[in-house]
Amino acid sequence: MSFTVWFTGLPGSGKTAISTRTSSLLAKEGVSVKHLQLDEIRRFLTPEPKYTDEERDIVYASLGYMAKLLNETGVNVFIDATANRRKYRDSARKIIPGFAEVYVRCPLDVCMEREAKRKAEFAPKSIYKKSAKAGANVPGVNVPYEEPLEAEIIVDSDKMTADQGARKVADGILALFGDENGT
């Protein structure tokens, strides 16, 4: 059985860095993963995003359904997306049998500092700065971020490096799903 792991946390918490490194670690163990980065996919689903609740409902439901379809064909999936409302992640959990959540926990001030410096390929730039000036909807600032209640894996990204976080996640995934994936 294939699996889906949803990496959630505030913007700038380290989701992309940790999920990318975790994917590389799992590849060394013979476990391949398709990495769905919301910031990349959003360009096709909503080319001019408004970040409204309605738009988020559609985007996150689509992301969960894509992962489900990939899992049905035997592809393991990482979802790299904030998903500020618990209901988005819970909806994916309901439709995907092999589902786990990784909470990349990080204080808002650290996320803001990191995000100001990040050079992510697909992520919008300076979102915290824009939220202060233009009233942009940013999880953790002016839009609620609902922490997972029972994440299978928690990484405190302000207390460990991205490599250490990735090792913790890879070990957790192998413990959760390893036997089912031939590892």
The CATH number covering residue 95 comes to 3.40.50.300
Mapping DSSP to helix (H, G, I), strand (E, B) and coil, where does residue 36 land? strand
Q: Per-residue pLDDT tens for 72-107?
A: 999 999 999 999 999 999 999 999 999 999 999 999
Residue 139 phi, psi (nearest 5): -55, 135
Phi-psi region of 156 (alpha: psi -120 to 50; beta: other; left: phi over 0): beta
Q: Which residue has the higher pLDDT, 24 or 127?
A: 24
Q: Which residue has the higher pLDDT, 169 or 55?
A: 169
Give whole-number Cα distances, 128 to 32, 42, 108, in Å.
Answer: 34, 19, 10
Query: CA torsion sign, 123 to 129 to 134 to 136?
Result: positive
Q: What is the number of other CB atoms lying within 10 angstroms of the CB of residue 25?
A: 17
Indicate the residue type of 154.
I
| Mean pLDDT within 111-121 | 74
What is the structure's pLDDT at 140? Answer: 63
Q: Domain count for the chain, please give it.
A: 1
| Mean pLDDT within 113-141 | 61
Q: Cα angle at 113 between 109 and 119, to 5 degrees?
A: 140
Give whole-number Cα distances, 121 to 5, 78, 107, in Å.
Answer: 21, 17, 23
Q: Which domain holds residue 49?
A: 4-181
pLDDT band at 179 (very low <50, low <70, confident <90, very high): low
| Among 6-20, 42-56, 158-172, the least confident range | 42-56
